[in-house]
């Protein structure tokens, strides 16, 4: 009788062969990097998950990393210094000692209902100025707020404005151009 976590798998089947060809490895790495740098990806929950969520315990939203919006990325330009990039995007979450000229800004948002949003922006430097950056198709700040707080219920009415009274000098109104 089998027991334990691995009892459900067929342990007699050999593992799939691994292709060690350098061209195939480089192509696989390029494909995964392109998917990671494609911008924000959101995984929606299924109807079954929504139904089962009613019976599960409370799960808080978990946010990790740096949120980078379309507006922030639009301010980033080739030729900016590291300090300018830090001012626009914030401090990078990942800096690699082996790749000092690369800053990564990953973002991860797991909603309590099972919805998952991830994105990554990568900035490459050459001679301490931006050479290029990757990461597009990012949400705007309004989209992010709507995702966190929910869409606005209605539009706000404009505040009531009062007419401005003319300034009086010596009892006579002064006409301002």
The answer to whether residue 175 scores a pLDDT higher than 60 is no
State the pLDDT confidence band at 32, using cuts at 50, 70 and 90.
Answer: low
CB 145 within 8 A of CB 129: no
Task: List the beta strands (DSSP E) in 5-163.
Answer: 41-43, 62-65, 94-95, 102-110, 116-126, 129-134
- Mean pLDDT over each residue of the chain, to the nearest integer: 75
**CA distance linking residue 45 with residue 114, whole number of Å:** 6
The average pLDDT across 166-170 equals 55
Q: Which residue has the tokens 């210094």?
A: 81
Strand bridging mode 41-43 / 102-110:
unpaired
pLDDT at 163: 57
CB 81 within 8 A of CB 142: no
Q: What is the dihedral of CA 41, 110, 155, 39, to 10 degrees?
A: -20
State the pLDDT confidence band at 176, using cuts at 50, 70 and 90.
Answer: low
Over the Cα atoms of the chain, what is R_g?
26
pLDDT at 113: 76
Q: List, for residues 109-161, the tens digit of each pLDDT value.
A: 888 777 788 888 899 999 999 999 988 778 888 888 887 776 667 655 555 55
Entry pTM: 0.59
State the pLDDT confidence band at 37, using cuts at 50, 70 and 90.
Answer: low
CB 76 within 8 A of CB 88: yes
The average pLDDT across 52-57 equals 75
Q: List, for residues 92-117, the tens digit of each pLDDT value.
A: 887 888 888 999 988 888 887 777 88
Residue with the larger pLDDT of the pair 7 and 70: 70
**CA distance linking residue 92 with residue 86, whole number of Å:** 7
Residue with the larger pLDDT of the pair 110 and 164: 110
């Amino acid at each position: 009788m089998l027991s334990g976590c691995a009892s459900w798998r067929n342990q007699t089947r050999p593992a799939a062969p691994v292709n060690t060809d350098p061209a195939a490895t480089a192509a696989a790495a390029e494909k995964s990097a392109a998917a990671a740098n494609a911008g924000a990806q959101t995984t929606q929950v299924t109807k079954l998950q929504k139904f089962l969520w009613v019976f599960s315990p409370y799960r808080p939203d978990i946010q990790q990393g740096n949120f980078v919006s379309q507006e922030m990325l639009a301010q980033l330009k080739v030729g900016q210094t590291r300090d300018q990039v830090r001012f626009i995007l914030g401090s990078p979450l990942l800096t690699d000692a082996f790749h000092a000229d690369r800053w990564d800004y990953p973002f991860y948002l797991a909603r309590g209902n099972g919805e998952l949003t991830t994105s990554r922006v990568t900035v490459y430097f050459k001679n301490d100025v931006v050479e290029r950056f990757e990461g597009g198709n990012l949400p705007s700040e309004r989209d992010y707020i709507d995702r966190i707080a929910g869409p606005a219920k209605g539009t706000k009415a404009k505040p009531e404005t009062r007419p401005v009274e003319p300034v009086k000098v010596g009892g006579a109104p002064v006409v301002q151009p």
